[in-house]
Structure 1
Amino acid sequence: MRISNQEMLAPSDIPYNLVPPHRTKVVEYTTPTTRDQRKNLIKEANWSACNLPSEYIFVNMCTDSGTSAMSDRQWSAMWLADESYFYSKSWYPLNDALQTYTGMKYTIPSHQGRSGEAILYELFVKEGDIVPSNCHFTTTRAHCYYNGAIPEDITCKEYFDDNDQSWFKGNIDTEALKKLFIEQGDKIGLVELVVPNNLCAGQPVSMKNIREVREIIDKYKKRDVIFSLDIARISENAWIIKKFEEGYGYKSSLEIVNEMCSYADVVHMSAKKAGLVNMGGFVALNDQTVYQKLQPKLIRIDGFTTYGGLSGRDMEALAVGILEGVNDYYLEDRQRQCDIFANACKSRGVSVFDPACTLGVWILADKCLPHIPKAQGPGTALAVQAYIEGGVGLTSMDSLHRGREDKDDPTNTAKIQLAPYELIRCAIPRRAYNDDHFEWVAESLAKAMSWGEMIPGYRRMDIDRPAIEARDIGLRAFFDEYEPMHEHP
């Protein structure tokens, strides 16, 4: 008989900040490689670990999306799956779990997060709109451009201060948001908060900030406005609120997630992250009329409203995983792994964005390779060299890959703005790696840094690719087409 959600949180004196709350039952073997092989492999993959066949990546931290290890409870639940098109038996446990997780009445499954975003932005975002956010994720920016709107990132000032050590540097700048509503509120129909703020070094958002956004919308709106939360990693954000925001230490992470969602009109999730599944997503809300308006859009894109493009097996796995992923013991262990990795980097002289917050660790690549100008991709260069040294897969989020489009002339790549930080995202797949793996990634980064000025800067490849349409420009970052200015050592 499998352990229940309640039993998983039974009182314990075992220190889950020191040891994991689970044990390993299945292992996956990796493909051995040599340094010479890896140097050739990364060259053939256009100098990007994201383009590599995954079998050649020893520790893959390119993304935390769909890369989690599922539990025995999830695998066993999948055997109960019903693949009926209409109202399958697997819909009911999923709906119950999502209602418990979000505290919302209506839930809409989708095959992944961006398809849930698509129907929301189709309904609420109009041509000429401004969509403010703490920092739009790549696909969310793409949905803005696709619908003829302008994504407006107004990240809080604390994020841009190297010396600030506060825990909620992913907040939206509420004064700037208020000013935007006062001056251009007639153009705002949706406000998006990403919790935590993925593209801003995974920094969390405070409950106070979410409340203030709700208050600003209600006080200053000039038309109907939807407050939307991107909750792909909200469980991990809730853990930081529990640990570091006054008044929340006695609450469970699930209770905190419920409160965060209570301030929003709608939430959407790529469940491949905090849902601990390989595929899936959902939208949740309380307004019946909006729910009914979204239903035909979902059917057109993903399928009927009780499966949303998911197999019954996916729904059963998510019904279990969504509540496992908000378990306090699990989240405590996840923060433990982040701290281990961040400290392993620091002890080797690898600069890290502080604080490291549950989602992953971001490397400050320009401080690691100060000889490479921001426009020449120090994050890109360091990530490539780290793969050569240790077979680790990392994602560059530097100016070369993630510089912002000029909002008045977004298709003009000559006007790409430099990023505030030259970052590498080291995403931590959930329950997939042990502590020694993170020591190895830190060691690989340190070995890469040791080559110093021998590591080359990068430039755009001369590739005959048709220009990206204006409505698709937000997806520019997904095409890794950069090359080194000279050979890697």
Structure 2
Amino acid sequence: MDPSAGVRHPAEPWRIKSVEPIRPTSADERRGALAAAGYNVGLLPAELVYIDLYTDSGTGAMSDRQWAAVMLGDESYSGSRSFYRLEAAVREYYGYEHVIPAHQGRAAENILSRCLIRPGHHIPGNMYFTTTREHQELNGGTFHDIIVDEAHDPEADLPFKGNVDLTKLERLIDKVGAGQIPYVSLAATVNMAGGQPISLANLAEVRELTRRHGIPVILDAARTVENAWFIKQREPGWAERTVSEILRETCALTDGATMSAKKDSFANIGGWLAVRDSHLAEQARNLVVVYEGLHTYGGMAGRDLAAVAQGIEESVREDSIRTRVQQVAYLAERIAEAGVPIVRPVGGHAVFLDAAAFLPGVPREQFPAQTLTCALYLDAGIRATERGAVSAGRDPVTGENRYPRLELVRLTIPRRAYTQSHMDFVADSVIRLYAQREDLRSGLEFTYEPETLRFFQSRFQPLSASLRTGPQDPPDAIGPT
């Protein structure tokens, strides 16, 4: 019998061997820290964050086997045995022949974009991601969103909101010509839509259409293990297949992938680019030498190559990915039961709050999602991520702010790092803020705005006193005292 059957939050398939203390903070400390950070929680010192849900990228807990692999890592500059272990793991579990390590996912995106994109190119994809689109635009390309319309509706409860709208893709091909499309950029799952999966049936249709036009398909594989789990749970005909088998089937429908191993593979750093075409692989290796390091280490220490390889093996274990997704679902259920608006269905790595609905009194030009991240920190020392107009940036032609339909706050759960009690603490804070939402009727304005990826470095000032003072009656001290 499955020990997790019928349990709202099943026991984790691991036990804790090492702990990291987290320091309580007072309401006064949080007010001062947020003001010093320019009301951008990404600029807060981590020691002043009680529960850090900013990202699941490199923030999870590595296993004892991964730490053992770290100690056994081969630090040879060229041809390290750690590289060959990583290469073998990618080939076995993802199925790509040519593997080029890079220090993280955006580094792999940079190499791929420099290899394939030229000025005037058009890159269709199932919703943008921040770094992916930035590399595409910096190399002269234009991104086109071809995701299904329902992905932009937080309340549309469909099993595969990451799917491509084939009609949109065909129209783009007809309009610009297949020769101007270097590849189709697909994410599985789709982060900016709320961690939504793409179905294998839809991916197969994309593959057939692109094959007819000679257009490659490149996968963002950072959370494809999570995507495989959702296929197993939701797509007819796949319930009896293993996550590992579904992962291979997914990748088999693509020509290559970029990977941030800081997500599904549990590593604190690392990534790779993998392709089937030998000529493209040689181009990528040459550029990796310029930007990352020799093609057998790609900016990574041998110990990290070994940790990633071990993490790949652990990532496809059924009990591991089940627990991961169920922890996220538990937090979502607690929040949704209180009427808090969230993106549905719930994805595998985060709960996404619908900030526009949460704070209806804050105008879009005053950045409701950024405002809500500040309120969460002031209330309980929780750091979350803005995924709305600040992340969307400005139109490179008009210079105007982009206002995506989704104005979200992402509560991103690091893997194997927090307990059910932490999830309850987060839920209590979100519910408390939602009850006080009428107190926040104005948001933020920029005091400093960088040209690229502005959400990382921007600074703001509040347009009312409510963000300076914080929510009503916040806990004076967070956690045990």
TM-score, length of structure 1 as denominator length: 0.91
CA distance in 1, matches of 2:2, 2:385: 38
Structure 1 segment 158-307 matched on structure 2, within 5 A: 158-185=150-177, 186-219=179-212, 221=213, 224-307=214-297
User: Is the 8 Å Cα contact of residues 58 and 392 (structure 1) preserved in structure 2?
Assistant: yes
CA distance in 1, matches of 2:112, 2:153: 33
CA shift in 2, pair 1:164/1:449, >3 Å: closer
Q: CA deviation at 1:456?
A: 4.8
CA distance in 1, matches of 2:435, 2:194: 24
Q: CA deviation at 1:384?
A: 0.9
Q: CA deviation at 1:404?
A: 5.5
Is 1:391 aligned to 2:364, yes or no?
no
The amino acid that maps onto 2:459 is: E
Q: CA deviation at 1:13?
A: 3.6
CA distance in 1, matches of 2:209, 2:334: 42
CA distance in 1, matches of 2:393, 2:378: 29
Is 1:73 aligned to 2:65, yes or no?
yes
User: Is the 8 Å Cα contact of residues 348 and 443 (structure 1) preserved in structure 2?
Assistant: no
The amino acid that maps onto 1:417 is: R
Structure 1: unaligned runs, 5 residues or longer: 1-11
User: Is the 8 Å Cα contact of residues 62 and 394 (structure 1) preserved in structure 2?
Assistant: yes
CA shift in 2, pair 1:376/1:91, >3 Å: same
2:391 corresponds to: 402
User: Is the 8 Å Cα contact of residues 446 and 458 (structure 2) preserved in structure 1?
Assistant: no
The amino acid that maps onto 1:188 is: I
CA distance in 2, matches of 1:63, 1:457: 26
User: Is the 8 Å Cα contact of residues 232 and 273 (structure 1) preserved in structure 2?
Assistant: yes
1:15 corresponds to: 4
Instruction: Give 3-state SS (helix, strand or coil) of 2:313's partner.
Output: helix
CA distance in 2, matches of 1:163, 1:82: 49
CA distance in 2, matches of 1:365, 1:272: 27
Q: Which moved more, 1:275-284 or 1:39-48?
A: 39-48
1:353 corresponds to: 343
1:421 corresponds to: 406
User: Is the 8 Å Cα contact of residues 130 and 392 (structure 2) preserved in structure 1?
Assistant: no
Q: CA deviation at 1:476?
A: 3.0
Structure 2: unaligned runs, 5 residues or longer: 471-481
CA distance in 2, matches of 1:163, 1:130: 30
Is 1:324 aligned to 2:318, yes or no?
no
Q: CA deviation at 1:416?
A: 1.9
CA distance in 2, matches of 1:141, 1:160: 18
TM-score, length of structure 2 as denominator length: 0.93
Is 1:125 aligned to 2:117, yes or no?
yes
1:89 corresponds to: 81
Q: CA deviation at 1:162?
A: 4.8
CA distance in 2, matches of 1:189, 1:403: 23
2:478 corresponds to: none
CA shift in 2, pair 1:160/1:90, >3 Å: closer
TM-superposition CA deviations, 1:12-59 (whole Å, max 9, x none): 743276221111111110111111211111111111221101111111
CA distance in 2, matches of 1:73, 1:30: 25
Count, aligned residues: 463
CA distance in 1, matches of 2:21, 2:154: 40
The amino acid that maps onto 1:402 is: S
Structure 1 segment 477-488 matched on structure 2, within 5 A: 477-487=455-465, 488=467
TM-superposition CA deviations, 1:78-124 (whole Å, max 9, x none): 11111000111212211111111211211111111111111111111
User: Is the 8 Å Cα contact of residues 113 and 282 (structure 1) preserved in structure 2?
Assistant: yes
Q: CA deviation at 1:479?
A: 2.8
TM-superposition CA deviations, 1:240-295 (whole Å, max 9, x none): 00100011111111111111111111111011111100000001122222212211
CA distance in 2, matches of 1:229, 1:207: 13
CA distance in 1, matches of 2:297, 2:447: 43
CA distance in 2, matches of 1:100, 1:356: 30
User: Is the 8 Å Cα contact of residues 404 and 419 (structure 1) preserved in structure 2?
Assistant: no
1:444 corresponds to: 429
Is 1:461 aligned to 2:446, yes or no?
yes
Is 1:150 aligned to 2:137, yes or no?
no
Q: CA deviation at 1:403?
A: 3.6
1:4 corresponds to: none
TM-superposition CA deviations, 1:179-208 (whole Å, max 9, x none): 111221232111100111111111111111
CA distance in 1, matches of 2:143, 2:455: 15
The amino acid that maps onto 1:482 is: F
Q: CA deviation at 1:483?
A: 2.0
CA distance in 1, matches of 2:92, 2:378: 45
User: Is the 8 Å Cα contact of residues 102 and 284 (structure 1) preserved in structure 2?
Assistant: no
TM-superposition CA deviations, 1:136-162 (whole Å, max 9, x none): 211111111111111111221121345
User: Is the 8 Å Cα contact of residues 118 and 143 (structure 1) preserved in structure 2?
Assistant: yes
The amino acid that maps onto 2:96 is: M
